[in-house]
Amino acid sequence: MQKANKTIQKDCVRPLLKWYRTHARDLPWRRTHDPYAIWISEIMLQQTQVTTVIPYWERWMKEIPTIQALAEASEQTILKLWEGLGYYRRARMLHKAAKMTCDRYQGNFPQDHETILSLPGIGPYTAGAIASIAFDQPKPILDGNVIRVLTRYYSIKSNPKDRETQNQLWGLADHWVHQADLMRPRTAGNCSHLNQSIMELGATICLPGNLAQCNKCPLSKTCGANMTSQVANLPNLPKRRAVVQQQRFVYVLKYNDRYLMQQKGTDEHNEGLWEFYNTDSPVIMSPEEALQFCLETLQKKGIQVSTFSILTTIKHTITHHRITLHCFEGSLTEKPSSQLADGKWVTIKTLKAHPMPSAHQKLRSIILG
């Protein structure tokens, strides 16, 4: 399957490196070789669009410019800087890995691929990205963009999520980056640029479905899918899981100009973040039905409210879950004791200082006007 080395260099590596020199987007983390800065960008870019990540990365690097600073930062500071990016486990793992790096490697980011891979929150993709981009090592990367380019280039029709196909794709990615390393004359940055060029091609040219712009692609003359008109059919990904509808109730409860907040506990979704009091919905309801249900729930708990009304409805998606949040606001006539004991009453002034998941941030914005 693998083409001869010279052919790969001529057909793929050289055209990609040349294309990358003139077409790479000017992204802030591409102006540095600092492994810490590259690591932060790679973790932020998981599941998140480049345009969303840029301001987050810039703010992060300003506030926490070194791995030592990250190790010493509080979890609340980190979560606050991550607020809105979602998948908060990524931020907690960064914190853990920074502490480990300071303890074991005196704060020097390890250069060895196996050691990078041993850090919390770093999988094969991220380890390959850091080793190749920061240290110019011939280590492969395989993410959704690279999978799309390789399956199309080699007309691989099997499901790329299957283990055998995954192994094949890692092997191909490894082969390409090694050929970049073996190019003579060897230019500094060959491995870094080769890997980034494949990702860049997948992100900007080799787009999903029939959005691919093969006429602009440096691989078009030798790409299997392009030559056999199979571009839109590859990669052959499994069908998406059926969508599951869910509802939750959010109670924005106010007492004496303070709002009731709860911090998510260890191993809970959104661990460490703050949310307005919320509960699961037993069945799918309209906002009006939900209002009545929630009012009765408060009454059953002995919580007396002087006002209780619909605040807003928020819809959001997490993987295949479509979640509707029915949000209500109420003013309490007296501070409840045990029923909501695990909560904290937060003044409107300090609401902003609490890191919150996106939906609750929206509610905070409504409250703060």
Residue 253 backbone phi and psi in degrees, to 5: -100, 130
Write the CA distances from 22 to 133, 215, 246, 311, integer angstroms: 18, 16, 46, 50
Q: How far is the CB of 218 from ligand SF4 (least distance, A)?
A: 8
Is 16 within 8 Å of 194 (Cβ atoms)? yes
Q: Closer to ligand SF4 by CB, 57 or 153: give it.
A: 153
What is the C-alpha separation between 173 and 154, in angstroms, rounded? 12
Nearer to ligand SF4, 202 or 272 (CB): 202
Q: Shortest distance, CB of residue 260 to ligand SF4, whole angstroms?
A: 52
Whole-number Cα distances in Å, 356 to 213, 294, 295, 328, 351 = 39, 22, 25, 17, 9
The residues pairing with 277 across neighbouring beta strands, listed in sequence order, are 251
Name which of 93 and 214 has its Cβ closer to ligand SF4: 214
DSSP structure string for 61-116? HHHS-SHHHHHHS-HHHHHHHHTTS--THHHHHHHHHHHHHHHHHTTPPP-SHHHH
In the complex, the smallest distance separating the C-beta of residue 217 from ligand SF4, rounded to whole angstroms, is: 3
Rg of the chain on CA atoms, in Å: 25
- Give the residue with the Cβ less far from ligand SF4, 111 or 233: 233
Tokens at 111, concatenated: 């250069």
List, by residue number, the catalytic residues: 42
Q: Are strands 305-318 and 344-347 parallel, antiparallel or unpaired?
A: unpaired
Q: How far is the CB of 12 from ligand SF4 (least distance, A)?
A: 10
Angstrom distance (rounded) from CA 325 to CA 289: 13
Comparing CA positions, the residue from 124, 98, 79 lying closest to residue 273 is 79
Helices in the chain by DSSP H: which ranges? 5-8, 14-23, 35-45, 50-63, 67-72, 75-82, 89-105, 113-117, 124-135, 144-153, 163-182, 190-204, 224-227, 287-300, 358-368
Nearer to ligand SF4, 225 or 252 (CB): 225
- Name which of 3 and 352 has its Cβ closer to ligand SF4: 3
CB of 179 to ligand SF4, least distance (A): 17
- Distances in whole angstroms, Cα of residue 254 to Cα of each of 335, 343, 353: 9, 12, 18
Residue 231 · residue 314 · CB < 8 Å: no
Residues that bind ligand SF4 (CB under 6 A): 149, 152-153, 205-206, 212, 214, 217, 219-220, 223, 225-226, 231
Shortest Å distance, C-beta 207 to ligand SF4? 8
Nearer to ligand SF4, 86 or 208 (CB): 208
Distance in Å, CB of 230 to ligand SF4, minimum: 8
Supply the angle between the helices 124-135 and 163-182 in degrees, to the nearest 10.
10
